[in-house]
Amino acid sequence: MLDRGSSPLPQFKILGQPVHLSPDYTAWLIDRLQQGIGTHVVTMNAEIVMQANHDSELASIIHQAGLVTPDGAGIIMALKLHEIEQSRCAGIELGENLLRLASKPEFNYPIFFYGGKPEIVKLAANRWQTELPTLNFVGIEDGYIDATAQAKLLEKIQTTQPKIILVALGVPRQDVWIRDHFHLCPEAIWVGVGGSFDVWSGVKTRAPAFFRKLNLEWLYRIAQEPSRWRRSLALPQFALLAVGERIKGKNKLVSH
């Protein structure tokens, strides 16, 4: 997953985990596609940072990823503490942007969806096929398959060579899976999109724009899924550590 010619993006480490900075992540990824450069994209939020600091495998994957975007209010807050102005890049929005561009005649990139429950991934793919009739799906597969079906899935990905592969298995499973199978399609964009299929299928709704503008999407998710409250406990801990890191002032902006 090494760069072979794309313009490097600056990166900044937050509690030891890198995040790349860009005014337009989608355009950067499309440029890489046109150059034949594959990319593993990690959409990072505060929960993932805290998880990575206790999971060396996940941390290694984040450090090796071709692109780590700031997906989450906590990441944006931490960057602002260091006087870095960066717009949030949610995984669901990045996925939508890539799909819309992929459907344009000048691109016509083949698409693959993997993950989620069987009915969910089908509904998500149907939603996009209806909205973007020219979208070129070369395959979809749910995340509840056995070893035999998994082998067929990998063979299909290698045979069809999709250019955009969206994987919804949750963190860290989706990122481990992408890392392990990136070699099958080395010129593709692989993005871990978490629960995006649930939203695209219509089973769940995304936070209204008002919540997103105020960086309160996490609160809306807890209201929808009260069981998520335990995961949200990482947020205040992250905030305290980020403030402490700013006081120490050791971070530096570096090239990728």
List the chain domain ranges: 64-88+215-251, 90-211
Question: CATH classification of 90-211, choosing from 3.20.20, 3.40.50, 3.30.1150, 1.10.287?
Answer: 3.40.50
**Is 242 a residue whose pLDDT tops 90?**
yes
CA-wise closest residue to 190 among 114, 138, 117, 88: 114
Q: Is the pLDDT confidence value at 248 over 90?
A: no
pLDDT at position 3 is: 42
The answer for residues whose C-beta is within 8 angstroms of residue 65's C-beta and 6 or more apart is: 1, 39, 40, 41, 42, 175
- Specify the pLDDT at position 201: 97
Q: How confident is the model at residue 1 (pLDDT cuts 50, 70, 90)?
A: very low
**pLDDT attached to residue 231:** 59
pLDDT on residue 4: 43
Over residues 181-214, the pLDDT tens digits come to 999 999 999 999 999 999 999 998 765 665 556 5
pLDDT in tens, 24-74: 999 999 999 999 999 999 999 999 999 999 999 999 999 999 999 999 889
DSSP category for residue 141? E
CB-neighbour burial class of residue 85 (10 A; exposed 0-12, middle 13-18, buried 19+): exposed
pLDDT in tens, 144-156: 999 999 999 999 9
Contact in structure between 1 and 38 (CB atoms under 8 Å): yes
Give, as one character, the DSSP assignment of residue 4. S
Bridge partners (DSSP) of residue 112 are 139, 165
Q: Read off the pLDDT band of 5 (50, 70, 90).
A: very low
pLDDT value for 97: 97
Query: What pLDDT, on the 0 to 100 scale, is given for residue 197?
Result: 97
Burial of 28 (0-12, 13-18, 19+ CB in 10 A): middle
Q: What is the mean pLDDT of residues 95-118?
A: 97
Looking up tokens 């996940």 gives 58
User: With 80 as the cut, is the pLDDT of residue 135 above it?
Assistant: yes
Cα 66 to Cα 4, 12, 19, 152, distances in angstroms: 11, 14, 10, 27
What is the bridge-based pairing of β-strands 17-20 and 10-14?
Answer: antiparallel
Do residues 67 and 41 lie in contact, with contact meaning Cβ atoms separated by under 8 Å? yes
> Can you say whether residue 83 is alpha, beta or left, with left for phi > 0 and alpha for psi between -120 and 50 degrees?
left
34 CB burial (10 A radius; 0-12, 13-18, 19+) = exposed
Question: Which residues have C-beta within 8 Å of that of residue 181, sequence separation ≥ 6?
Answer: 154, 157
Q: What is the 3-state secondary structure (H, E, C) of 28-78?
A: HHHHHHHCCCCEEEEEECHHHHHHHCCCHHHHHHHHHCCEEEECCHHHHHH
DSSP letters for 152-205: HHHHHHHHH--SEEEEES-TTHHHHHHHHHGGGSTTSEEEE-TTHHHHHHTSS-
Nearest to 41 by CA among 175, 176, 199: 175
Q: Say what the pLDDT of residue 211 is.
A: 57
Question: Is 220 or 208 the better-scoring residue by pLDDT?
Answer: 208
- The confidence score (pLDDT) of residue 38 equals 97
The residue ranking higher by pLDDT, 177 or 227, is: 177
- In this prediction the pTM is 0.88
